[in-house]
Structure 1
Amino acid sequence: MRNDTLKLIAILSMLTDHIGLIFFPQIEFLRVVGRIAFPLFAFGIAVGSYYTKSIKKYAIRLFVFALISTVPHYLVINNMQFNILFTFLVSVIGIAFLKEEKKLYGLLWLLAVPIILPLEYGLYGVWVPVLFYLFRQKKMIQLLLFALVTIFFCLFYSTWIQLFAVPFLLLIFWKPGFQLNLPKYLFYLFYPLHLILLGIFLWFF
């Protein structure tokens, strides 16, 4: 399956999730649909980290858009956590250490930073893309590991809704009979822009 198709599904899922969170918190189905987004974006981060010509530029790009998204995320989502782009940035830097065979530094980075900083999804969010990267040639192992860490995440935070993310990861096995090519920076731009638009609706309506 082309990664661009996964990105489109993830983007639509994220939009649905945030609409539910902000405008219709009583409609839990919208939040369930939103569980599709995280594993697909995390999978995309792992794929991108592997195929990018420069993981340094990849990390810088994430950092720039994470900064751009900071104020909209704070105003619309209304929490003090660093947004998901910062979470994925920590993952990418950890993967960069692994690529350079600096495994000890990578391990320390991937354990310490999400404990010190209030990142969205915390350790769970940082490690899922890393696990996808490490087992990139073994999709079934990716699925099993994701299921295990998601169960631990749900138990730790006494939540259940994130469990819906597990079956949605099966989308990585889907091979549609069409090709979809999206603009390279679509997700990076969409993330802050959709928060700004939702914020405008929230403010005026």
Structure 2
Amino acid sequence: MDQRIQRHSYKGVTSQSFTGEAFSLDLSLWTVRIGNHVFDHCHMMLLVHSTQLHTIKSRGKNPEVEDLFIYGHHLRIGKGDEVLIGESMISTHLRRFDMQILAMLTMLIDHIGYIFFPEDIAWRYVGRIAFPIYCYGLVQGHIHTSSRPKYLFRLLIIAIIAQIPYNFAINPGGWNVVFTLLLSAIVLVILDKLPTLWLGIPVVIGAIALMDYFPIDYNAYGLLLVLIFRYTKSYWLVGAHLALNVFYMFYNFWTVQMLSIIPTLLIALTPALWGYLERHRVPRWVWWSFYPAHLLILGIFKGLIYNDWLSIEWRSLLNL
């Protein structure tokens, strides 16, 4: 199958031919990926011609909706979708929602084990898969969102809603992990506004101190992992995450956290395998409500089984 990609950008027009390779178009980033080759910053228009795909046309620099025409049939694709094109398959999916099911399932397993089977470490091993996926998803959301203030506001609302269920089910004297993600997202926004990342060092140090002072879930580890996903790629991503885990293995004795490198390995080094796992997505309301909802349900079962009902340790929350 002969495929020609014409790339239009503000700097001119380039084109290149490829034969017999499946490729993907990330419409929200204007990036064409063919094997290990990446072509990005295609701002104006992408036209792809093949035996299966006729045209993709844009409606502005960052359109909310793209038009995909396949053999004369019109398919509407939302912002952030990817078109995966092979010799016999065309499918679309939202990059930010790629790993939702895996993240939610492993987090649920982790919390069930923490609450009801604290002596069985196997539950916690499985649960280590979840947090890196959420960090990766946060970075993707930061990059792709059309409104960062609204994105931060949604995180704040979820963090507030989840706080009582979190105290109820997991830790009566701590702040839930959405606050960790929220603070990390705020740091990303600040860093993006600075002329150079070096000026962001005091910001990162201050955020680390804040997150280690208060009992926030994952503490500064969460922020550092988010920064790793934001600013490193490929082997550097894996190496940085591994170094972070090794440091915390000695600093906080988080031996079990070493297994969190697994999803990072898949994301960075085996995109084809990871793409196989990226087949399903859930409605947005399910994604945003799952964290507080599952904590509330687990907390109720915990209270019924152990007669251990809500008792928030306010002084601990403020580190008093």
SS of alignment partner, residue 185 of structure 1:
helix
Greater gyration radius: 2
Q: Please give the per-residue CA displacement for 1:40-94, whole angstroms capped at 9, x wherever unaligned.
A: 1111111111111111111111111101111110111024221100000010000
Mapped pair 1:40 → 2:136: no
Contact 1:111 1:123 in 2 (8 A): yes
- Is residue 162–residue 291 contact of structure 2 (8 Å, CA) maintained in 1? yes
Match of 1:28 among 121, 124, 138: 121
Kindly provide the CA deviation profile for residues 111-165 of structure 1, in whole angstroms up to 9, marking residues without a partner as x. Answer: 3321332211111111211221122xx2322121111111111110123111111
Q: Equivalents in 2 of 1:19, 1:7: separation in Å?
A: 18
User: Which blocks of at least 5 consecutive residues in structure 1 are unaligned?
Assistant: none
Cα distance in 2 for residues equivalent to 1:113 and 1:32? 28
Where structure 2 has 5 or more consecutive residues not aligned to the other structure, the ranges are 1-92, 306-320
| 2:263 partner amino acid | F
What is the 5 A alignment of 1:18-167? Answer: 18-101=111-194, 103-104=199-200, 106-135=203-232, 138-167=233-262
- Percent of aligned positions with the same letter in both sequences? 32
Q: Distance in 2 between matches of 1:48 and 1:106?
A: 21
Q: Distance in 1 between matches of 2:235 and 2:96?
A: 18
> 2:157 & 2:264 partners in 1: Cα distance?
28
Give yes or no for the alignment of 1:180 onto 2:280: yes
Distance of 1:111 and 1:201 partners within structure 2: 35
Deviation at 1:22, TM superposition (A): 0.4
Q: Do the aligned residues in 2 keep the contact of 1:90 with 1:113 (CA within 8 Å)?
A: no
The one-letter code of the counterpart of 1:139 is: S
Amino acid in the other structure paired with 2:184: S
- Mapped contact 1:62–1:89 kept (Cα < 8 A): yes
In 2: Cα distance, 1:101 partner to 1:171 partner: 31
Higher relative contact order (CA 8 A, sep 6+): 1
Computed over aligned residues only, the root mean square deviation of the Cα atoms, in angstroms, reads 1.9
Q: Give the residue type in structure 2 aligned to 1:161.
A: V
CA distance in 2 between partners of 1:140 and 1:35 (Å): 20
Deviations along 1:158-197, one digit per CA (max 9) or x if unpaired, are: 2311111112322323121863232123232000000111
